[in-house]
Amino acid sequence: MNRFNELMGTRRRASAAVLTLIVWMGFAANTKAAPYKPESPDTLLLELDASQQQASAKRRAANLQNNKAGAIELAREFVALGRAHHDERYFGYASAALQRWQQDAQAPLEVVLLRADIAQHQHRFNEARIILDGLLVRDPNQLTARLMRAALHMTQGEPHAALQDCQKLFSLREPFAATICLAHAHSSSGKLDESYRLVSTMLQQIPPGRRDTQVAWAWGVAADMAQRSGKEEEAEQWLRKALTQDSNDLVSRLELCDLFLHTQRPNEALKLLAALPASEPILLRRALGAKQLSAKKVGAMEVGAKPDLALAEWRAAVERSERLGITLHLRELARGQLELLNDPTLALHTALKNWEVQREPVDVRLLVAAARAAGNAAALQRVREWQNALRFEDRSFAL
């Protein structure tokens, strides 16, 4: 049986390579796809919604150069568009709108906040930290900056630093945010169970009508804690609630998708990805879902029933990003290298690079999985030491 699988694996790998080449050529060779002219002048090429139209008009407004308030407003709109449409380009647009304050140490606080937001979105975490540090020195009572920095600390695996910022939120009269923030920090520094109990209780006591962004955030935090407590059904519930409130919440959507993949439910995972644009994180998960589906030998589904093609598309997207010199999602890349390319050494190398940038629970799990697969005891030891020093708990795997 093993040898058969190996043979199939080799053939699969070979055909995957060929498909990748074909897809990549399709991407890369501008000359291959011939330019064309539509028959009718009424052929629709692109549709813009109201906010896009508005932003476009503002962008081209002749007086934008001199209109500082307008530029800030525009940047804010671009950031919102970027999140709504899952389009990276808009963050570049936002950053360009704030160009005049690029080197300005005394830029207006809203500008600094926006720049921090863009930086953290683009995974320039250290830069975001520096920006927020400066901002909080200028205005220690800036709520958004404080929350952002607390969240950044958690992303970078520094719950103790986050605690200080969370504490400050009480004096800013935000008890709900403060409590969730503290619970989140405590959950990664030795108090997973109590923190989860606290957050669940708080969330259950919220009136069902209340649906705001603080609550949405709290659902995400609860889902993470539930997963680390080994309570996958509860994690699913929290994520579904987050998606019900905001179907555009890409993070929760992908987290739920990962949960489905983890619990061997590829059909549901793929359904979640159906309407999303073809970017690397989505192509990665489509390929993973397709792979699981074919492994299960379930009957073909409309969406993603061709594992080799899905894999080729993901690889082509990764190569395209590399060619353009865009910083890749290291976490996603490592995962792809581990689970799709079956290259644990490379995956571990990428996972370690990712480790230098961010240390969320997912990153920890990924590093452990890569280190295990590569048989690298030193890396495992490193994670163990980090975990012990923080008293970081994650029961979804044993170290």
Partner 1 sequence: MVFAIVTALCSITSAHAHAVGTSYLHIDPAGSDSEVAVRVELSIRDIEFAVGLDANGDGRITWGEVNSSTPALVTYIGRKFGLSRGGHQCALGDSDIALDQHTDELYAVLSTTAACGSNGALAVQSDLFFEIDDSHRTLLAVANDEQSGGDGAVSVLTSTTRHWSTAEPAGAWQDFARFVGQGAWHIWIGFDHLAFLMLLLLPLARATTLDEQPHIWPRVTSILKVVTAFTAAHSITLICATLGLLHFSARWVEALIAASIVVAALANIANVATRYGAAMAFGFGLIHGLGFASALADITTSTTRVIPLIGFNFGVELGQLAVVAAVFPLLFLWRGSPPIKDRAILAGSIAMGAAGISWLVQRTLLS
Q: Per CB under 8 A, which of residues 171..230 are in contact with partner 1?
A: 177, 212-214, 216-217, 220
Q: How far apart are CA 334 and CA 345, in angstroms?
A: 10
Report in angstroms how near the CB of residue 305 gets to partner 1 at its nearest.
20
User: Quick one: 28 or 305, whose CB is closer to partner 1?
Assistant: 28
268, HSE (Cβ side, Cα atoms, 13 Å): 14
User: Quick one: 291 or 359, whose CB is closer to partner 1?
Assistant: 359
Q: Which residues of 73-97 are buried (b: 16+ CB within 10 A; e: fewer)?
A: ebbbbbbebbbeeebeebbebbbeb
The phi-psi region of residue 304 (left if phi > 0; otherwise alpha if psi is between -120 and 50; otherwise beta) is: left
x-or-dash pattern for partner 1, window 120-159, by CB under 8 A?
xxxx-x-----------------xxx-xx--xx--x----
> Could you tell me how far CA 74 lies from the centroid of its own chain?
24
What is the footprint of partner 1 within residues 278-307 (CB under 8 A)?
A: 278-282
User: Quick one: 6 or 356, whose CB is closer to partner 1?
Assistant: 356
Figure out which of the listed residues 99, 171, 247, 381 binds partner 1, where binding follows CB under 8 A: 99
Eight-class DSSP state of 148: H
Token code pair at residue 127 = 């830069």
Report in angstroms how near the CB of residue 103 gets to partner 1 at its nearest.
14
Q: Which stretch binds partner 1 (CB under 8 A): 230-238, 288-296, 342-350, 357-365?
A: 357-365
What is the footprint of partner 1 within residues 23-82 (CB under 8 A)?
A: 27, 30-31, 33-38, 40-50, 52-53, 55-56, 59-60, 76, 79-80
Phi, psi of 49 (to 5 degrees): -85, 180
Report in angstroms how near the CB of residue 263 gets to partner 1 at its nearest.
20
Which distant-in-sequence residues (6+ apart) come within 8 Å of 241 by Cβ? 219
Judged by CB under 8 A, the number of residues near partner 1 is: 87
What is the footprint of partner 1 within residues 307-326 (CB under 8 A)?
A: 317, 320-321, 323-326
The residue among 287, 299, 307 whose CA lies nearest residue 8 is 307
Report in angstroms how near the CB of residue 5 gets to partner 1 at its nearest.
32
SS3 23: helix
Q: How far apart are CA 242 and CA 216, in angstroms?
A: 6
